[in-house]
Amino acid sequence: RAPRIAVVGRPNVGKSTLFNRLAGKKLAIVDDTPGVTRDVREAKSKLRGHDMTLLDTAGFENARGDKLEARMRAGTEGAVMDADIVLFVYDARAGITALDRIFAEFVRKSGKPTVLVANKVESSAADVGITEGYSLGMGDPIEVSAEHNIGIVDLDDAIELAL
């Protein structure tokens, strides 16, 4: 099967925007409301001639049980376990939050090849957050702006290296 690339991270960091950017189409719903992506979405895509399947996820919420947030989390964790490569996205303007750290730990423990993505870097408000990303233990953050189409070539390089 084509390598599966899961886009994960807490709600509102720009996962769906990045997924659409990488898929080259507007497939996922982008919204300011955290958690608007409820199910895992798939898109077939090509990266420099390599077939791959992109997965957009609902995002990590810190909840267990049968609430919506818990289902989102379970779906996202399932997508990580099913992935060949994980893109761990955070909002560099917001910096690294407690929730980012909790889920970075989950992704690290999964042992999956991971690319750390610092999103929303189009303004200097992201500078501190970019630096904070180094503390996640996932390597150097790749700096992108999914919305403004910045850094996507560097991200493609990092994905290609991980393939």
- Residue ranges binding ligand GDP (CB under 6 A): 11-17, 30-32, 34, 37, 59, 119-120, 122, 145-148
Q: Name the residue nearer to Mg ion (CB basis): 148 or 157.
A: 148
Q: What angle is formed at CA 144 by the lines to CA 31 and CA 14, rounded to 5 degrees?
A: 15
CA pair distance 68, 45, nearest whole angstrom? 29
**Is 16 among the annotated ligand-binding positions?**
yes
Shortest Å distance, C-beta 14 to ligand GDP: 3
Shortest Å distance, C-beta 49 to ligand GDP: 26
Q: Which entry of ligand GDP, Mg ion, none binds 38, CB below 5 to 8 A by partner kind?
A: none
Positions in the binding site for Mg ion (CB under 5 A): 15-16, 37
Shortest Å distance, C-beta 117 to ligand GDP: 10
Q: Name the residue nearer to ligand GDP (CB basis): 69 or 122.
A: 122
**Is 10 among the annotated ligand-binding positions?**
yes
Q: Which residues pair with 52 in a beta bridge?
A: 45
**Is 121 among the annotated ligand-binding positions?**
yes
Structure tokens at 160: 């290609």
**Nearest partner of 60 among 23, 102, 120, judged by Cα:** 102
Q: Name the residue nearer to ligand GDP (CB basis): 108 or 148.
A: 148
User: Which DSSP string do the residues of 81-119 spell out, in sequence order?
Assistant: HH-SEEEEEEETTT---HHHHHHHHHHHHHT--EEEEEE
**Is 9 among the annotated ligand-binding positions?**
yes
Using DSSP's 3-state secondary structure scheme, residue 22 falls into helix
Q: Which entry of Mg ion, ligand GDP, none binds 146, CB below 5 to 8 A by partner kind?
A: ligand GDP
Q: Contact 160/47 with Cβ under 8 angstroms?
A: yes
**Is 14 among the annotated ligand-binding positions?**
yes
DSSP class of residue 47?
E
Annotated binding-site residues read 9-16, 56-60, 119-122
Annotated binding-site residues for GTP read 9-16, 56-60, 119-122
